[in-house]
Amino acid sequence: MSYSDKENINILCAVMLGHGLTHAVVCPGSRNAPIVHNLNECPQVKCYPVTDERSAGFFALGMVEQLGEPVAVCVTSGTAVLDLAPSVAEARHRHLPLVVISADRPMAHIGQQMGQTIDQPGVLSRFTLMDANLVEPHDDLSRWHCNRMANEAMISARRGGPVHINVPYDEPLFNFTVPSLPVERIITSLSVSSGQTALFEALQPIRSAKKPMLVIGQLPQGTFTREMMGKLMPHVAVLVEALGSDDGGVPYDELLPHIGNTADFEPDCVIYMGGTLVSKRLKGYLRRLEGIPMIQVNESNEIHDTFGHLTQIIHCKPQVALQALVQLLDQEKTNDFAQLWHESLDQVQQHFDSLRPDFSQMLAVKLALQSARELQEPFVLHFANSQPVRLANIFARQHVCCNRGVNGIEGTTSAAAGCAVVTSDRVLCVTGDLSFFYDQNALWNSNLRGNLRILLLNNGGGGIFSQLPGLEASPARDTMIAAGHMTHAEGCCLQHGVQYRTAHGSEDLYSGIAWLVQDESDRPRLLEVVTAVEQDCRVWQQASESIKHLK
């Protein structure tokens, strides 16, 4: 028994076998010969040769209808894949799991008058649930991508519909020298609803884990409440940022260097739910973990292998999974691993609460959030991306809204303004200078009311670029990359009837924060805090370094 030396073909075949594929319809051709060879070599797969691709697609559908399982149909490159369009359309409208596999030439050959070459990726996308293009891997990242796409295609097919897997590779085609298929990660998928026994079974790995961890990304306010946090914290290490919790976040970028690579902090099971995470260090930390169950809860049909080691995806609402976790975990017994994490999290949080930074963006955000809490009235927080949202993770003690889906600079002030017109609560928008001036037409809006308050952090450019190691070597950093400027917001505010104040030092800042946050007003207010990039970086560095002295 021997297999093709094409790594993308071998990964695909191993993943299909892992998902239980046992039947394949194969059509003639030289470009798809390595795939056909592999399928024929797999003892678990029975191959059925059919010459006409149009007939082959419907032949496979007849098998799908009888078996109730995905069936593959494999064709060569060029117009062969187009001949499957009628059967793929039929499969889509009847929700049948047809797996189309098309061989292809490398992308560089398309449009170069090469034989049997058309633009194949996505050619059936009007009728498929998912399209995958498995290019030949050349490193670990591209191998992971190939594995993930193959898993995603098979999971999508099992939801009930056709998928198209395009496999481009270069010559030579007929080296059958690999003795066995690789051992590939198989991502399992489970769709559940509230109360189903299957959900409890899927969550068993975290119940039986000695060092369980729950990681929560961005979620709507009210999803992960203080009450829910209190129920779970004694039993599982809960890592959540201000974008996902009603109780604020923790500065993981500062915490993780303090923890280091201590094995005591490494989980043996991770469950992840919610949207994106802000902390790059937290994502990097979780990506280093291998060989443990990694479960994602996602109510959509999408698959997000954020940490690179996903083993199962559970399709249900986060609230349903959280309630199931509470019922599943032993409420009579606390977990030492959870206590270890939460003691460290509390220690870092208390450290930053007691921090007294010099005049800087850090001081401005700390004072603004502290002033909002002292008001003891409801406040909605909207933070811009980059430095502002990272400062929110340090100092916010409530849920934070942020345009984090794509992590762009546009729209922060506009989103906060839209929020302010449909709530009677005050809305505090914290934004950097580039984000604000990019979105300054948010103030060109006749709907604005006095509950909108804007804290503008202006240090004359993209301050975060000064904290990226190595970028200081580029003479283009300050002017072209960080977009250095000397623009201020006073004229814009005057033009649109927004009340304006500025702060250039601590004394101005203290009085300005009280004016911005606590005073009544019938018009929006904006406080522009003008700082120097060098000072902001120094204060941030001092705060990060101070963590090292904690025990």
Are 31 and 105 contacting, i.e. CB atoms less than 8 angstroms apart?
Answer: yes
3-state secondary structure of 426: strand
In tens, the pLDDT along 87-108 reads 999 999 999 999 999 999 988 7
Residue scoring higher pLDDT (219 or 409): 219
Instruction: Read off the DSSP letter of residue 539.
Output: H
pTM comes to 0.89
d(CA 288, CA 285) in angstroms, rounded, equals: 5
CB atoms within 10 A of CB 121: 18
% of the chain surpassing 90 pLDDT: 75
Are 547 and 351 contacting, i.e. CB atoms less than 8 angstroms apart?
Answer: yes
Beta strand 212-216 pairing with 71-75: unpaired
Domain boundaries, the chain: 7-184, 189-351, 355-549
Q: What share of the chain is helix, strand, coil (3-state, %, to 5)?
A: 40, 15, 40
What integer pLDDT is reported at residue 478 of this predicted model? 62
Question: CATH number of the domain at 7-184, out of 3.20.20.70, 3.40.50.970, 3.30.200.20, 3.40.50.720?
Answer: 3.40.50.970
Evaluate whether 7-184 and 355-549 have a shared fold.
yes
In tens, the pLDDT along 440-483 reads 999 999 999 999 999 999 998 655 655 556 756 676 666 555 65
Does 227 have pLDDT greater than 70? yes
Fold designation for 355-549: Rossmann fold (3.40.50)
What integer pLDDT is reported at residue 543 of this predicted model? 87
What average pLDDT does the segment 224-245 reach?
A: 94
Using pLDDT thresholds of 50, 70 and 90, give the confidence band for residue 519: confident
E strands in 459-524: 499-503
**Residue recorded with tokens 């098309």:** 102
d(CA 525, CA 499) in angstroms, rounded, equals: 5
Sheet holding 312-315, edge to edge: 188-191, 312-315, 294-297, 269-273, 212-216, 237-240
d(CA 24, CA 92) in angstroms, rounded, equals: 19
What integer pLDDT is reported at residue 469 of this predicted model? 67
Question: CATH number of the domain at 189-351, out of 3.40.50.1220, 3.30.70.1450, 3.20.20.70, 3.40.630.30?
Answer: 3.40.50.1220
Q: Determine which of 4-13, 152-161, 217-226, 471-480 has the lowest per-residue pLDDT on average.
A: 471-480
For the record, the structure tokens of 92 come out as: 């889509």
Q: Per-residue b/e over 211-249, b at no fewer than 16 CB within 10 Å?
A: bbbbbbbbbebebbbeebbebbbbbbbbbbbbbbbbbbb
% of the chain surpassing 70 pLDDT: 95
Dihedral class, residue 349 (left if φ above 0, else alpha if ψ from -120 to 50, else beta): alpha
